[in-house]
Chains A and B, each alone.
Chain A
Amino acid sequence: MALKLIRKFVASSLLVMTAASASAETFVFTAIPDEDETKLVERFRGVADYLSEQLDVEVRYIPVKSYAAAVSAFRNNQVQLAWFGGLSGVQARRLVPGSEAIAQGVEDEAFQTYFIANTSTSIDPAEDLASLEDQLRGKTFTFGSKGSTSGRLMPEFHIRETFNQAPEDFFGRVGFSGNHTRTLRLVEAGTYEVGALNFQVWEKELEDGNIDTSAVQVIWETPAYPDYQWTIRGDVNERFGDGFKDRVKEALLALDDKELLESFPRSGFIPASNEDYEPIRKTAEEIGILD
């Protein structure tokens, strides 16, 4: 027992001392925490099992508490693969030269943000945002996470473009709920009058009967833009063997477990490239989130 402790102590101090890690053969991935944690853990443990079966290496999923933590872990090479949103993916790939977007959901080619409102505001759904100006001005409004594409970047872009004002000037109070599920709950409960969220989260919750449609409704849908994608570090082949990156890509594209896909929710994965996300980068630079 004592010997074991000493061994463990020596091992762990060595771990602290050297960069060479004992778990080099474990392929670690993370995902932006855009929804309820229980759901994420369930979903990505499934992905970890699937990948480990396909790739013949140990695969581990690490849950994180913020978008930035996901980007940092990727940048710091503590994770080698990540399920990013449009913006976090652009941030991550800028910081890690050689990293690549390898796959996106079928739905991510044309993703949308829904603006939702508590029905007590009696805001009627509209085709264009400009016509809602009078009804929206001065309301309380919540984004999702500060680093979210569908929950922050795109809605902020459209607010600025349509109303020529920063969100905090246009609305009476602006908050960041943290994630899409919470945005939905907060607007449903009336804590915020209006909010913006990922349309897939809305559709899935609606389908599952988790939305009180008498309390909250969609009032505007943004035009389509590219969003979520799997991004992998450029140096994985050196660490996990030649062709590893392609094998990961193939495995993701071949994923056809209905239940697992349903949990994303995506109907499948298709190839993606860094260039697909240029519009996101430009938008982020335009509103000053990226330098």
Chain B
Amino acid sequence: MLSYPTVRASLIFVAVAIVGLLFADIAITASNPWRDLGNFFLGVVTPNFFSSEGLLTALLRTVAFAFVGVALGSFCGFLLALVYRLLPVRIFCAFIRAIHELFWALIFLQFFGFHPLTGVLAIAIPYSGIFAKVYSEILEEADPEPRRLLPPGTGMVAAFLYARIPDCWEQMRTYTAYRLECGLRSSAILGFVGLPTLGFYLEASFSQGLYSDAGAMLILFYVLIATIPLWVRPKLLPVYILAAPFFLGDGLPIVWGNVERFFTEDIVPAPLRSGEGIAGLVPWLNDLMVNEALPGIWNTVLLTQVALVATGILALLAFPLISNHFGGPVRRTSGHVFLVIARSTPEYILAYILLQLWGPSMLPAVVALALHNGGIIGHLIGRQTNTLRLRPDAPTGFNRYTWELVPRVYRSFLAFLFYRWEIIMRETAILGILGIYTLGFYVDSAIQNIRFDRAMVLILVTALLNIGVDALGRYIRRKLALQTMPTC
């Protein structure tokens, strides 16, 4: 078995994660975690839909921010995709998508404040970077044949519209619809930093132990996501996109002087601002790197590697839940429900819930990341097994799982996993805001102390780390000759 490169790569990652576990802070510190977990589930089954007058408005805002953000991101992403072959554009896109929506929101909050633009841009900017990359990949893979058949002298625009777009349309549409679902999740968690979306109320209810209220919000959110195919119709889309900007709420007016101040003063490193010059900059940077960036990077990488392997294990365990090759319809339906819940709940919300229940350590973060990402990959792999046709006399049960299915889907499983590596790291960093000592913790601390210069350096470090992991993931996928379809 060791002669297979995929097996070797897997074992290396498992070994790294095991070593990581020795260093990681894994513990349940709550004295009665199971009682709290029980109370939480009790809350979910006894939801209180009338807790807050603002709940429906919050749901509406969540949808509105998602639509405006994703529409804007998709439009800009498409334009960027057209020039994606230029290196500066690629670097620019890699950079903007390496910074998480919540970080963008925290940045814009400092000068736009509670204006709708903060939420819209926080979604649109990283999504532009992601759309640009995926759209350009789709466009590149388009069949070149139709273009060759065009009469000579056909204009570039016409050629593009008639020979390229039709071939890519379906894929771009599917991907954009998929991103809309991601947009809803992003929009919901923006509430955690104060925007008027679902997360705002969810955080308030949770922190006060009002589990029935929180349960109602989660249920509404799941229903919203599960019914996307029903209410997001191609014909209705233009209506939604045109209407959405009117439902973002008024927020507070922007004061433009703040924008200028942010860029010309706030983010200028303190020693430069106080006139100490370059001589003061070195110890300042040094202190920041040694005391915040390095511990942050260490914990981020550690948590990412453990969570990545946990995700993989969970995905492999979960995919039979929805596979046609096992069990009856009842099991598959409940499997679907479980996976829908797992992948519809943003990691951030899962981690927040588990942290409240189990107390602070890396464990809630690992479980949250594994549940969400494992749910997504398990769903994709499970669906893939449904297209497989086994011999009539193929073994059943456990042997079918180990000898027939896993080997057949293992390569795409790995491809998805490495694809999500960078996404897991992005999330890991952001979970620091919840109190786990990853990079986000230090970014949040700097912002809480109104030191945006430090925050910006740390966000930059986070982005570079992400770009690095993205590149490494791509390298490994290429080395192992793994192919993927983009997922969110």
A residues sitting closer than 8 Å to B (CB atoms) are: 5, 8-9, 12, 15-16, 19, 21-23, 28, 36-38, 62, 64-69, 71-73, 75-79, 91, 95, 118, 120, 140, 145-147, 173, 175-176, 178-179, 181-182, 185-186, 189-192, 289-291
Chain B residues 187 to 212 lying within 8 A of chain A, measured CB to CB, are 192-194, 200, 203-204, 207-209
In the complex, the answer to whether B450 meets A68 with C-beta atoms within 8 Å is yes
In the complex, the answer to whether A72 meets B110 with C-beta atoms within 8 Å is yes
**Which of A12, A38, A91 lies in contact with B208, CB distance below 8 A?**
A38
Given contacts A12-B245, A76-B255, A146-B445, contact A190 B193 (CB under 8 A): no
In the complex, the answer to whether A78 meets B255 with C-beta atoms within 8 Å is yes
Given contacts A37-B207, A67-B448, contact A173 B360 (CB under 8 A): yes
- Chain B residues near A9: list those with CB within 8 A: 245-246
Whether B449 is near chain A, meaning CB under 8 Å from some CB there, is: yes
Given contacts A140-B29, A190-B31, contact A72 B109 (CB under 8 A): yes
**Which of B208, B245, B252 lies in contact with A73, CB distance below 8 A?**
B252
- Chain B residues near A191: list those with CB within 8 A: 29-31, 359-360
Given contacts A19-B255, A65-B193, contact A146 B449 (CB under 8 A): yes
Q: How far is the CB of B183 from chain A (nearest CB, A)?
A: 21
Report Cα–Cα, A165/B277, bound state, in Å.
32
In the complex, the answer to whether A78 meets B450 with C-beta atoms within 8 Å is no
- Chain A residues near B30: list those with CB within 8 A: 189-191
In the complex, the answer to whether A5 meets B246 with C-beta atoms within 8 Å is yes
Q: How far is the CB of A61 from chain B (nearest CB, A)?
A: 12
In the complex, the answer to whether A147 meets B449 with C-beta atoms within 8 Å is yes
Q: How far is the CB of A21 from chain B (nearest CB, A)?
A: 3
**Which of A21, A36, A38, A66 lies in contact with B253, CB distance below 8 A?**
A21
Most buried by A among B36, B109, B200, B257: B109
Other A-B pairs, 14, CB within 8 Å; known A36-B208, A69-B109, A146-B448: A23-B250, A37-B204, A66-B193, A71-B450, A72-B113, A72-B450, A77-B255, A95-B450, A178-B207, A179-B207, A189-B30, A190-B30, A192-B29, A290-B449
The chain B residue sitting closest to A288, CB to CB, is B449
Q: How far is the CB of A191 from chain B (nearest CB, A)?
A: 4
Chain B residues 406 to 451 lying within 8 A of chain A, measured CB to CB, are 435, 444-445, 447-451
Report Cα–Cα, A62/B114, bound state, in Å.
10
**Which of A19, A23, A38 lies in contact with B257, CB distance below 8 A?**
A19
**Which of B109, B207, B255, B451 lies in contact with A36, CB distance below 8 A?**
B207
Chain B residues 110 to 131 lying within 8 A of chain A, measured CB to CB, are 110-111, 113-115, 117
Q: How far is the CB of A94 from chain B (nearest CB, A)?
A: 9
Report Cα–Cα, A72/B447, bound state, in Å.
10
Given contacts A19-B256, A22-B253, A66-B193, contact A8 B246 (CB under 8 A): yes
**Which of B117, B192, B257, B444 lies in contact with A16, CB distance below 8 A?**
B117
Most buried by A among B194, B252, B359: B252
The chain A residue sitting closest to B36, CB to CB, is A189
In the complex, the answer to whether A73 meets B113 with C-beta atoms within 8 Å is yes
Describe A's contact surface by its main secondary structure.
mixed
3 closest Cβ pairs, A-B complex: A190-B31, A21-B253, A65-B194
- Chain A residues near B361: list those with CB within 8 A: 173
In the complex, the answer to whether A175 meets B113 with C-beta atoms within 8 Å is no
Whether B76 is near chain A, meaning CB under 8 Å from some CB there, is: no
The chain A residue sitting closest to B201, CB to CB, is A37
Chain B residues 32 to 69 lying within 8 A of chain A, measured CB to CB, are 32, 36
Report Cα–Cα, A15/B204, bound state, in Å.
30
In the complex, the answer to whether A73 meets B114 with C-beta atoms within 8 Å is yes
Whether B270 is near chain A, meaning CB under 8 Å from some CB there, is: yes
Report Cα–Cα, A78/B444, bound state, in Å.
21
Q: How far is the CB of A181 from chain B (nearest CB, A)?
A: 8
Interface flags for B366-383 (1: CB within 8 Å of A; 0: not) read: 000000000000000000
In the complex, the answer to whether A19 meets B254 with C-beta atoms within 8 Å is yes
- Chain B residues near A66: list those with CB within 8 A: 193-194, 448
- Chain A residues near B451: list those with CB within 8 A: 291
In the complex, the answer to whether A291 meets B270 with C-beta atoms within 8 Å is yes
In the complex, the answer to whether A23 meets B246 with C-beta atoms within 8 Å is no
The chain A residue sitting closest to B445, CB to CB, is A146
Report Cα–Cα, A140/B111, bound state, in Å.
37
In the complex, the answer to whether A146 meets B444 with C-beta atoms within 8 Å is yes
In the complex, the answer to whether B31 meets A189 with C-beta atoms within 8 Å is yes
| Sampled A-B contacts (30; CB under 8 Å) | A9-B246, A15-B253, A16-B254, A19-B254, A28-B252, A36-B204, A65-B192, A65-B193, A65-B200, A65-B203, A66-B448, A68-B447, A68-B450, A71-B450, A72-B109, A73-B113, A77-B258, A78-B113, A95-B450, A140-B29, A146-B445, A147-B448, A175-B360, A178-B207, A179-B207, A190-B30, A191-B30, A191-B31, A192-B29, A290-B449
**Which of A75, A182, A289 lies in contact with B207, CB distance below 8 A?**
A182
Report Cα–Cα, A19/B115, bound state, in Å.
12
- Chain B residues near A179: list those with CB within 8 A: 207
Q: How far is the CB of B272 from chain A (nearest CB, A)?
A: 13
